Structure 1
Amino acid sequence: MRRFPRRSLAVLATLGTLALTGCGTETGDPAGHVPSATGADRTIRAERLMQVTKVHEETGMTLLEGPTFDEGGGLIVVDVTAPEGKPKVLRVDPGSRTARAVHTDGRGAYTSAQFSPHDGRLYLSDYVHGEIISLAPDGSDPQTFFSGDVDGARMNPDDIAFDQEGNLYVSDSRSLSVGDAHGRVVRIDRDGEKSTVMAGGLASTNGISFDADYQGLWISELTQNRISYLRLDAKDGVASRHTAIRVDGGIAQTDSIAVDADGNLYQALHGRAAMVVYDKHGERLATVELPARTKGLESATNVAITPGGTKAYMTVSGSAGGYLYTFDALAKGIRQSNGG
């Protein structure tokens, strides 16, 4: 999820509304997929699939996140800044390029979405209210899975990841100021009863994903432009932690993370509508870019790769609206490349 302006966050926290700023129009977007070059750090040109949302008059912006595939092949996305009465969760049919509302309410600001392997429900993180809610796959039956403080402090849950048993791992941002390092990684048992801080002292924790073998967690820290690696032990704890990759993002910052079947990392960028791809050893393999002359799209927030295939769907937002772009991933999609 992109970082909200501090003034907007204050409004969200105190009023429970989404008074965020941003406006504009798109002035260009050539169609067509440009084949990528070969070799290290090649450029992959993404192709526009469709516009999903427009800028909301009430909040001054739109921000697509998720995305995650349901069992029927529909692509679930969330609009973080959707106001009350507008769709906050949508299902996209990539084939027909249509979208329909799945869920809305008058409270949540949902920054991620993922289906649990334990109960098959759709889980959403509410960044503003510090909660995790779940829905039936069709968007009905909303339930609060987790709410309240963790070790005496309320979460600002950004992204989520499930282990194979259905336990939930949360990137708890907490930081509102540059230089703060109060972010955490929180583990919540699959029944929602027990929460544990696995790591602290992180700089605006944002992306979170298991590696391909579920041996550890990749964590992006937005205000430090770095990706950390938490190696897990056999007792659901952290065996070690280190800075794995320093992202040269310029004015852009590290957003969500996805991992493909070969263990490659797809690092989304807030402040630039692009993703950078690394292998598990930190080598930069490719940069995913939008077509030249595309205007009004400032951030790529996340990506989902088709399970068992290589078609990737990237959520991109800005003053032109919220869009889905597609590209060919470097390897096949797995659970770790499907939401969060």
Structure 2
Amino acid sequence: MTTYRAPRTLAGLAAAGLLALTGCGTESTDAAARNPAPSGEGRSIRATKVAHVTDVHEATGMTLLEGPVLDGDGNLHVVDVTAPAGEPKVISVDVTTGKHRGVYTDKTGAYTSAQVSPYDGREYLTDFATGSVVSIAPDGSDPRTFFSGKVDGSAMTPDDIAFDDDGNLYVSDAHGTEPDETDGRIVRIDRDGKKTTVLADGLAQPNGVMFDPGLRGLWISELAKDTISYLLLDADKTKVTSRHEAIHVDGGLAQTDSIAVDADGNLYQALHGRPAMAVFSKYGARLATVEVPAKDAEGLQSATNVAIAPGRTAAYMTVSGSDGGYVYKFAALAEGIRQSNGG
């Protein structure tokens, strides 16, 4: 999710969506040679349009798709962060046909991410506007407030979610959205929603949060610093045993948004301010840059997140801008796993 100030109005997070599936993939070697990524950005991977999901809302002046997650039927759910009351805030997209429909809305929520719990199978949504976490049934029914209130005396500004295998939540708290503020946190919420633990603090607008394939630690991105850090956890996953900045993302005007991993441990870093994703190895090498076609890029300002299908390399990226919210597809460098699907 992206935390905004001016263009990031309405909760200051990146989430834009539209799904129209037409097919996608990686360029051939010849095509990539004709359209190479800039020096230092690895090879170029061209994404193809799947669906046009939303248009700019008159009431909010923007649309922002986020939180792509594949449900049990293979449909992609995305959230529209800036959708006004009554308009779809969670949207289901058929990635084969590109058809889409609203599955959930309410009056007040500004949802910045979606993730399915491995414990109860419900879909969990971070509400940037109210500081709460809401869960819904897969069909959008039975909304419940899973968590709300303060953590260690401070209200939450929840952005992205990661789950461990037991269903405990790890949430990026983008607390403080001014450039010089470093009071963001990574917070663990036990699966019953009752106990919270601050795993890391002093962060500059933490956004993406995702486990590595072995669930030994968390990769986190800080939007205000353009960095990706690694938090090694203890066996109970209730304490950080070591923490270091691992990668500095040279994005120019673009900033680090949500983050995902594949089965090989490669990192997919979404870029707020550019309709692209940077792909790194777990050791920090820039492997590739995923980009939309040049003819589409002018009206699209940000790529916010990606879901990689577990057991496959099909990757679905949410992209938004003045032309609306879209879903694009590309071939990931390795297969997806549970942690690849949503966040």
| TM-score, normalization by structure 1 | 0.92
Find the partner of 1:34 among 23, 27, 32.
27
- The corresponding residue for 1:178 is 179
Partner of 2:332: 329
1:154 aligns with 2:147: no
What does residue 112 of structure 2 align with?
111
Other-structure match for 1:263? 265
Amino acid at match of 2:190: D
Does 2:341 correspond to 1:338? yes
The corresponding residue for 1:4 is 4
Secondary structure class of the residue paired with 2:317: strand
Dislocated runs of 4+, deviation >6 Å: none
Aligned-pair distance for 1:5? 2.2
Shift in Å, 1:176: 1.5
Secondary structure of the 1:60 match is coil
Distance in 1 (alpha carbons) for counterparts of 2:325 and 2:181: 30
> In the alignment, residue 83 of structure 1 is paired with which amino acid?
P
- Name the CA distance, whole Å, in 2 between partners of 1:305 and 1:226: 22
Give distance in 2, aligned partners of 1:249 and 1:6.
19
In structure 1, stretches of 5+ residues that fail to align are 21-30
- In the other structure, the counterpart of 1:239 is 241
Paired residue type of 2:3: R
Where in structure 2 are the equivalents of 1:185-334 lying within 5 Å? 185-236=186-237, 237-294=239-296, 295-334=298-337
Q: Measure the CA separation in 2 of the matches of 1:199 and 1:134.
A: 24
Q: Secondary structure at the match of 1:293?
A: helix
> Structure 1 residues 8 and 233 mapped into 2: Cα distance closer, same or farther (>3 Å)?
closer
Equivalent position amino acid for 1:318 in 2 = G
The number of aligned residues is 323
Aligned Cα RMSD in Å?
A: 1.9
Query: 1:248, 1:54 → 2: CA distance?
Result: 30
Mapped to 2, the partners of 1:141 and 1:227 lie a distance apart of 36
- Whole-angstrom CA distance in 2 between matches of 1:35 and 1:203: 39
How many Å apart are 1:292 and its aligned residue?
1.5
SS for the counterpart of 1:224 is coil
Report the TM-score, using the length of structure 2 for normalisation.
Answer: 0.91
State how far apart, in whole Å, the 2-side matches of 1:157 and 1:242 are: 22
Identity of aligned residues (%): 63
Q: Secondary structure at the match of 2:263?
A: coil
Are the aligned partners of 2:2 and 2:8 in contact in 1 as well (CA < 8 Å)? Answer: no
Gaps of 5+ in 2: 14-23
CA distance in 1, matches of 2:47, 2:56: 22
Instruction: Please say if residues 6 and 176 of structure 1, whose CA atoms lie closer than 8 Å, have aligned partners that are also in contact.
Output: no
Contact map agreement 2:211 2:339 (CA 8 A) in 1: yes
